[in-house]
Amino acid sequence: MRDGHNKVYKSFSDVIEGKEGRFRETLLGKRVDYSGRSVIVVGPLLSLHQCGLPREIAIELFQTFVIRGLIRQDVASNTGIAKSKIREKEPIVWEILQEVMQGHPVLLNRAPTLHRLGIQAFQPILVGGRAICLHPLVCKGFNADFDGDQMAVHVPLSLEAQAEARLLMFSHMNLLSPAIGDPVSVPTQDMLIGLYALTIGNPQGICANRYNLSNSNCINSKKETVDNNDCKYCKYTKEPYFSSSYDALGAYRQKRINLDGPLWLRWRLDQRVVGSREVPIEVQYESFGNSNEIYKHYQIVGSVKREIRCIYIRTTVGHLSFYREIEEAIQGFWRAYS
């Protein structure tokens, strides 16, 4: 059946089916207020519950809240003046935007949303550029990677929606798969390579040099002066001794030791080490009667009365950095849930 222009009439099924049908063309693909879309890039410095929003997207998403803040602080007398200040990007606009974003989570979604973790809540922070920054550990839940994937961002408006986002949808509260219970936030790809490079040790054996603990409270090893960019610093040719991890990390920042270079770190008395039946590689005795038992991964310094004075463990700066990051993460997780 044709109309006056000799065109075939469309049936009801023709109107709703297909890519250009009513559902896929209009209803499912429409854009709504308080939403945006951009390419995702890696943000390794972000916390697990944070995402980086570009300024251009953030000011559009939270424009209503910023206008309300400008009027409340008497910076603008009406909506028109407030919008002009936003267009001019005055400094007060970014300050109010920061305050608004601190108390307002956003929802990130990557299509297709096949399970519950396809949409999660994050705490937004302002970043430069035009791409959304995402922590690499949350990519598995979205089945996302950083080869050009796009993600949509939505702003929950009502108090009920914000409460649901904070209590149920925050990324750091969805660490396990709801289907099988396996961990979702696991290191992959470049993270594994970085962890390997961080914790790999120098293959130099423990018997490569001699040790002397005559000054056990500070570094005691042979040094050589190295000239680098007209700046002289001391570099250790033997495995140095440190009384704390802060001293070891400070020496690394001063380029006196390498990331994978072995060192001896004074450690707390550990009964598992003291009670070990491992045979020492070498036992040294000083003229004053002090002893030093050298094992493969640690040393035990004893006094004249055969009492244990201190323990030194053999480690690297990479291991110390990794240990501190894990310790800070556990403490932060404990504070968040205590």
Q: How far apart are the C-alpha atoms of 214 and 220, rounded to whole Å? A: 8
- Average the pLDDT over 259-265 and give the result: 87
- Which value, to the nearest 10 degrees, does the dihedral of the CA atoms of residues 317, 319, 325, 328 take? -100
Q: How far apart are the C-alpha atoms of 102 and 98, rounded to whole Å? A: 6
* Range name among 36-50, 78-92, 203-217 with the lowest pLDDT average: 203-217
Domains of the chain by start residue, with CATH = 31-62+104-186 (2.40.40.20), 206-337 (no CATH)
pLDDT in tens, 41-58: 998 889 889 999 999 999
Say how many CA atoms lie within 13 Å of 259 toward its Cβ: 10
Q: How far apart are the C-alpha atoms of 70 and 92, rounded to whole Å? A: 8
| DSSP, residue by residue, 154-201 | E---SHHHHHHIIIIIBGGG--B-TTT--BS----THHHHHHHHHH--
- Chain center to CA of 180: 25
Residue 237 tokens, joined = 């040719």
Angle subtended at Cα 239 by Cα 234 and Cα 241, rounded to the nearest 5 degrees: 85
pLDDT at 211 over 60: no
149 confidence band (pLDDT: 50, 70, 90): very high
Backbone angles phi, psi at 181, to 5 degrees: 80, 5
CB neighbour burial string for 107-127, b if at least 16 within 10 angstroms, e if fewer: bbbbeeeeeebbbbbbbbbeb
Query: Strand, coil or helix: what is 33?
Result: coil
Task: List the one residue out of 29, 23, 18 whose CA is nearest residue 111.
Answer: 29
Q: What is the pLDDT of residue 290?
A: 82
pLDDT at 210 over 70: no
- Average the pLDDT over 320-332 and give the result: 84
Give the Å distances, CA to CA, from 199 to 126, 278, 315, 318. Answer: 33, 24, 9, 5
Q: What is the pLDDT of residue 237?
A: 53
Give the Å distances, CA to CA, from 305 to 8, 211, 213, 273, 289. Answer: 106, 22, 17, 19, 9
pLDDT at 212 over 70: no
Cβ partners under 8 Å of residue 40, min gap 6: 131, 132, 133, 134, 144, 146, 149, 150, 151
pLDDT at 9 over 50: yes
Give the Å distances, CA to CA, from 250 to 48, 133, 233, 242, 316. Answer: 28, 31, 13, 10, 13
Residue 284 tokens, joined = 């040294």
Find tokens 């490569």 and name the residue.
208
Task: List the one residue out of 237, 244, 263, 255 whose CA is nearest residue 317.
Answer: 263
Determine contact, residues 182/115, Cβ cutoff 8 Å. Answer: no
pLDDT in tens, 129-147: 999 999 988 988 899 888 9
Q: How far apart are the C-alpha atoms of 185 and 42, rounded to whole Å? A: 15
Q: What is the pLDDT of residue 235?
A: 52
Determine contact, residues 150/130, Cβ cutoff 8 Å. Answer: no
Q: What is the DSSP letter of 320?
A: H
Q: In the chain, pLDDT over 90 holds for what percent of residues?
A: 28
Q: In the chain, pLDDT over 70 holds for what percent of residues?
A: 84
pLDDT in tens, 285-320: 887 778 888 888 888 888 877 778 888 888 898 888
pLDDT at 226 over 50: no
**CA pseudo-torsion sign 228, 206, 198, 267:** negative
Task: List the one residue out of 104, 106, 122 whose CA is nearest residue 48.
Answer: 122
Q: What is the pLDDT of residue 207?
A: 52
